[in-house]
């Protein structure tokens, strides 16, 4: 491989990310607490060592804010259409941004035919998401690049926790009757507690869409608040299922209610809806996060998920984060991408940067 293709040296540590005209710093993932310790009640220590910001404590439900929200759909769609064309990165800068994208991936398997073997292979890929020779050629082998988390069904939380022991990679569990979220609330809360007991330090939950479609904001607030309490010290990601909420205004209102109820992240989709993560949804949710932060001072993360398979799409979402929320939201404690196939395309793009050739997809197996 041609050493001349190496990236410029990148900053280590906590400096803010550079502008789009300069290579993006790739910050190494900090060591996190051992997963077995979480099973004995040390999830708060694990979250702190994972570099998470202070948690969003939530606020009282403010219906005046919720009812006053309106979204100009045409303006949002116009902004979403022009942003990728106006913001692009090339060559070494693109490779650096793709490396950053890897560190934000919640590497996910949520298939009906999942097996312990699939989960073990996924965890191995999370530890080493890019072939070592590519990282050496890029000059970033010393950065310890890993994915942001591994995301699995509750059934496989313990398997993933054991497989990732000592790696510093947190395990996220999808709970609360994923993907429909129509199980009785007591069962959904019990599933959250069971996932936390098994070692999950992040919980991806789904809301009752009917609460949004019927304007039942008090019920949605109470539901998310109960999920937050069931999570204990584990971080709560609230999946809005944006493709099923009918309007962008509903997406904005649901985002605000979830944050008022204490969500640490708001997430677009389960990946099982007809429409999943899109730039218009991302814009609306990011502006809700910005408004909430300006009003309360609390930081809330954003996670697009569902249908994100191409490296270019991942870059588009990174552009949205930088443009709408700033450099602070380019780090894995406040930004995640829920995906599995995405990592394959990113690795192929990095190999093209190093060698000038695209490799076959079968050279980058996921499971």
| pLDDT tens digits, one per residue of 69-116 | 999 999 999 999 998 888 788 899 999 999 999 999 999 999 999 999
**Could you give the CA distance from residue 201 to residue 49 in angstroms, rounded to a whole number?**
11
- Which residues touch 48 (CB under 8 Å, ≥6 apart)? none
Catalytic residue, candidates 34, 106, 198, 267? 267
Give pLDDT, residue 17. 41
pLDDT at 24 over 50: no
Whole-prediction pTM: 0.86
**330 backbone dihedrals φ, ψ, rounded to 5°:** -100, 10
CA distance 32 to 148: 12
pLDDT in tens, 300-322: 999 999 999 999 999 999 999 99
Of 188, 185, 247, 254, whose CA–CA distance to 217 is shortest? Answer: 254
Within 10 angstroms of residue 356's Cβ, the number of other Cβ atoms is: 10
Phi, psi of 50 (to 5 degrees): -75, -5
Closest CA to 192 of 239, 201, 59, 105: 201
In angstroms, how far is the first alpha carbon of the chain from the final one?
Answer: 27
Residue of 321, 330, 356, 320 whose CA lies nearest to 83: 320
pLDDT grade, residue 51 (50/70/90)?
A: low
- What was the pLDDT predicted at 85? 82
Residue 311: what are its φ and ψ, rounded to 5°? Answer: -60, -40
- At residue 87, the pLDDT reads 76
Burial of 9 (0-12, 13-18, 19+ CB in 10 A): exposed
What digits encode the pLDDT tens for the residues 185-233?
999 999 999 999 999 999 999 999 999 999 999 999 999 999 999 999 9
Q: Does the active-site annotation cover 291?
A: no
Q: Is 4 a catalytic residue?
A: no
Alpha-carbon Rg for the chain in angstroms: 19
User: Among residues 125, 237, 303, 322, which one is catalytic?
Assistant: 303
Nearest to 283 by CA among 342, 233, 325: 325
DSSP letter at 305? Answer: B
Mean of per-residue pLDDT scores for the chain = 87
Is residue 101 within 8 Å of 318, Cβ to Cβ?
Answer: yes
Q: Which pLDDT score is estimated for 52?
A: 61
Domains, the chain, in order of start with CATH, read 44-89+148-342 (3.20.20.70)
Q: Say which residue, 177 or 281, is predicted with more confidence.
A: 281
Question: Cα separations (Å) of 327 from 24, 101, 154, 251, 322?
Answer: 10, 13, 33, 24, 5
Helix, strand and coil percent figures for the chain, each rounded to 5:
50, 10, 40
| pLDDT tens track for 277-296 | 999 999 999 999 999 999 99
User: Which is nearest to 336 in space by CA: 292, 363, 360, 306?
Assistant: 306
User: What is the three-class DSSP state of 85?
Assistant: helix
Which residue do the tokens 């192929």 mark?
348
Closest CA to 106 of 326, 280, 324, 269: 269
Active site residue 2: no
Which is the catalytic residue, given 204, 264, 316, 333? 204
Least confident of 75-89, 124-138, 312-326, 336-350: 75-89
């Amino acid at each position: 491989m041609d050493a001349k293709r190496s990236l410029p040296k990148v900053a280590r540590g906590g400096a803010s990310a550079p502008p789009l005209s300069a290579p993006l710093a790739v910050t190494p993932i900090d060591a996190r607490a051992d997963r077995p310790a979480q099973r004995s009640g040390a999830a708060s220590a694990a979250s702190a060592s994972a570099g998470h910001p202070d948690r969003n404590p939530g606020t009282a439900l403010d219906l005046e804010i919720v009812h006053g929200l309106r979204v100009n759909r045409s303006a949002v769609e116009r902004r979403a259409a022009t942003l990728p064309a106006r913001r692009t990165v090339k060559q070494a800068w693109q490779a650096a941004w793709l490396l950053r994208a890897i560190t934000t991936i919640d590497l996910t398997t949520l298939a009906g035919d999942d097996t312990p073997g699939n989960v073990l292979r996924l965890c191995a890929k999370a530890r080493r998401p890019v072939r070592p020779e590519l990282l050496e050629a890029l000059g970033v082998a010393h950065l310890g690049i890993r994915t942001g988390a591994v995301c699995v069904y509750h059934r496989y939380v313990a398997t993933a926790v054991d497989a990732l022991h000592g790696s510093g990679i947190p395990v996220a569990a999808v709970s609360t009757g994923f993907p429909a979220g129509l199980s009785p609330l007591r069962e959904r809360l019990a599933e959250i507690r069971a996932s936390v007991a098994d070692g999950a330090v992040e919980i991806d939950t789904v809301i009752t869409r009917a609460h949004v479609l019927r304007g039942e904001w008090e019920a949605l607030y109470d539901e998310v608040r109960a999920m937050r309490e069931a999570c204990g010290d584990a971080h709560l990601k609230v999946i809005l299922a944006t493709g099923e909420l009918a309007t962008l205004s509903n997406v904005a209102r649901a985002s605000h209610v979830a944050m008022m109820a204490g969500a640490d992240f708001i997430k677009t989709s389960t990946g099982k809806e007809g429409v999943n993560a899109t730039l218009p949804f991302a814009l609306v949710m990011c502006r809700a996060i910005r408004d909430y932060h300006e009003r309360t001072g609390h930081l809330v993360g954003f996670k697009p998920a569902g249908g994100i398979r191409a490296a270019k799409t991942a870059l588009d979402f990174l552009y949205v984060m930088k443009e709408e929320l700033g450099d602070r939201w380019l780090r894995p404690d406040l930004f995640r991408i829920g995906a599995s196939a995405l990592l394959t395309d990113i690795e192929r793009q990095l190999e093209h940067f190093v060698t000038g050739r695209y490799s076959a997809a079968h050279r980058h197996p996921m499971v």
